[in-house]
Amino acid sequence: ALNILRLNNDAHDKLIEVLKAQEVSMRQQSGKYINEYELLNISIDKGGKSAELMILAFKPDVSSNELYASYLLGAFVQLYDDWADYYQDIDEGVQTVYTNNYWTYDDLINFANYLISAYQNKNYHEYANAIKYLISLKHLAEYKRERDKNA
C-alpha cells in the first residue's frame, strides 16, 4: 500500500517515524500520569516528524537546516492544535501540556516568538510568516475551544 505513495527513501523512513510518534502519543489517553517533559516531547515529535515527512515527500533535496526548520514549525502547529483542542481533550481524557496545566497560551506565544526570531535570523521568512499567520487565527481556535466547551 505504501508503494502507491511513491515516497523516496528519506520520506519513507520519515513515515515510519511518524507512525511510531503517533503510537507513542497514544500514551496520552492511557490515564497514567505523564509529566510535562514527556507530554511536550510527544507533541513536538508528533508535529515535527509530520512536517518533516511533508517536506521530504514534496522536496527531496531539502537541506538539513530546512528539515529542522520544518520540524520546529510542525512542533508549533501541533502545540497550537493541542491548545485549540483543550476542551475536547479534557472530555476525552487526553493529556497534553495544556490539559495538565503545564502550559498556557502565553507559553505557546513565547515559543512562537522564539521560532519567529530564529527563523528570521536564518532567512526562513516563510516559516516565520506561517507562525504569524497561525497566531493571527487565534479567534478561530478560541471559537473551536468555546464550541467544544459548550458541547
Q: So what's the pLDDT on residue 1?
A: 44
C-alpha grid cell, residue 95:
493529556
Residue 39 has pLDDT above 60, yes or no: yes
pLDDT at 120 over 70: yes
User: Model's pTM, two decimal places?
Assistant: 0.85
Q: What is the pLDDT of residues 133-142, one digit of tens each?
A: 888 888 888 8
Of the pLDDT bands very low, low, confident and very high (cuts 50, 70, 90), residue 4 is: low
